[in-house]
Amino acid sequence: MQTIKAAVCREFGAALTIEDITIAPPGLGEVEVTLDAVAICHSDISYAEGAWGGHIPAVYGHEAAGQVTAIGGGVTDFAIGDTVLVTLIRACGTCPNCAGGRPTICDTPHDNIAHPLRDAAGEPLMQAMNTGAFAEKVVVDHSQVVAIPADMDRATACLLSCGVITGVGGAVNAARLRAGEDVVVIGAGGVGLNAIQGARIAGARRIVAVDMTEEKLETAREFGATDGVLATQPKPWKAARAALGGRGADAVLVTVGALPAYDQAPAYLGWGGRAVMIGMPHAGGKAAYEPMAMSFQGQGMIGSKMGDVVLRRDIPWLVDLYQQGRLKLDELISGRWRLDQINEAIADTRSGGARRNVILLT
């Protein structure tokens, strides 16, 4: 057992505490990664607030990058010293969903897996989202790890672990955008900006960003939006339709967890359009829509978890796009913080102004 520092959640809604905890060595099929950087995702904040349940005390964090420093039995696809991303996507590789190319919805239960973390008193800590990356090290299943170039900045690279793949994948993998289609992206935060990038990469004709402030709409244009619509105006879908030449969108990507966004999403759609549900409201939240109208117009609704990503297919592709200058990553970083500043970084993220705040661990 090694002793490391981690940010621990002991009470939902309370500040995280920096503690010395212990971490077990990697077991069968596991790898230990010493982390260089971890980004703060709104999912981490929602879990720490108790919005989706779960168990505490826990260590959150799931967008990380670092180096492999130990390997458990049976792991042949990584070597000590490899530079890697760490994600929350734990996949068995053999269930029907994994075999069908959808590892983000692996249906093999992972709840009975022993967690490697304990506090100073020896009490177990929940390794939240199978990762627990608000810490100096993690021990995770090898399926959660993917190699990246050794010379890639870790603070930049860690963004690929969740926010980027969720947004780009929502556009490319879930919405299956084709060149020339029109897209509305509701929400221009971290995931929304990447959904906009995904739509641009897929060859969308028009990309309309919808958000609450002109500042966010201007940022959306920097990432590829052709038009911006303020969500605060009455019936904003009418302005979106005007930007699209009087027709509805082929795809609406809802990247925020706000229920009004889900209520309004079908209003942005054209005939045969599809609404892609990416942002996650709090548990128990309900949205309303008119099924007759959607059926009559041949419209559909699609759930997208983590951008339907296949890590070892999509991460190398995204890294290559970044290296070509076709995918913005550096521009997503709002601030770089130390682990002992994590509560300030979370507060800054919660305020809504940050794209992605990154905790530097080395």
In the sheet that holds 2-8, the strands lie side by side as: 2-8, 17-23, 117-118, 124-127, 58-59
Residue 78 has pLDDT above 80, yes or no: yes
Alpha helices in the chain (DSSP H): 42-48, 96-99, 154-157, 163-169, 190-202, 214-222, 236-243, 259-264, 291-296, 311-324, 342-350
Looking at the structure, tell me whether residues 55 and 190 fall in a common domain. no
Looking at the structure, tell me whether residues 47 and 156 fall in a common domain. yes
110-128 pLDDT tens trace: 765 678 999 999 999 999 9
Looking at the structure, tell me whether residues 175 and 277 fall in a common domain. yes
Check which CATH number belongs to the domain holding 41 and give it: 3.90.180.10
Total domain count, the chain? 2
The confidence score (pLDDT) of residue 43 equals 87
The confidence score (pLDDT) of residue 281 equals 86
Q: Which of 264, 288, 304 lies at the terminal end of a domain, its last residue?
A: 304
Looking at the structure, tell me whether residues 36 and 113 fall in a common domain. yes
Looking at the structure, tell me whether residues 177 and 295 fall in a common domain. yes
Residue 241 burial class via C-beta count within 10 angstroms: exposed 0-12, middle 13-18, buried 19 and up:
buried
Q: Which pair of structure tokens corresponds to residue 5? A: 């520092």
Q: Using an 8 Å Cβ cutoff, are 16 and 145 in contact?
A: no
Residue 323 lies in a domain: no
Residue 22 has pLDDT above 90, yes or no: yes
Residue 134 has pLDDT above 90, yes or no: yes
The confidence score (pLDDT) of residue 112 equals 56
Residue 88 lies in a domain: yes
Residue 313 lies in a domain: no
Residue 109 lies in a domain: yes
Residue 283 has pLDDT above 90, yes or no: no
Residue 317 lies in a domain: no
Residue 305 has pLDDT above 90, yes or no: yes
The confidence score (pLDDT) of residue 195 equals 97
For residue 199, what are the domain limits?
Answer: 168-304
Looking at the structure, tell me whether residues 189 and 289 fall in a common domain. yes
Q: Residue 293 is which amino acid? A: A
Assign 270 a pLDDT band (cuts: 50, 70, 90).
Answer: very high
The confidence score (pLDDT) of residue 353 equals 73
Check which CATH number belongs to the domain holding 292 and give it: 3.40.50.720
Assign 92 a pLDDT band (cuts: 50, 70, 90).
Answer: very high
Looking at the structure, tell me whether residues 35 and 156 fall in a common domain. yes
The confidence score (pLDDT) of residue 234 equals 94
Residue 311 lies in a domain: no
Q: Which pair of structure tokens corresponds to residue 266? A: 């079908």
Distance CA 132, CA 87 (A): 10
Looking at the structure, tell me whether residues 195 and 340 fall in a common domain. no
Percent with pLDDT over 70 in the chain:
99
Is the bond preceding residue 57 a cis peptide, omega within 30 degrees? yes
The confidence score (pLDDT) of residue 113 equals 67
326 DSSP 8-state letter: -
Looking at the structure, tell me whether residues 147 and 294 fall in a common domain. no
Looking at the structure, tell me whether residues 118 and 253 fall in a common domain. no
Residue 141 has pLDDT above 60, yes or no: yes
The answer to whether the pTM exceeds 0.95 is no
Looking at the structure, tell me whether residues 139 and 247 fall in a common domain. no
Mean pLDDT, the chain, integer: 94
Looking at the structure, tell me whether residues 92 and 109 fall in a common domain. yes
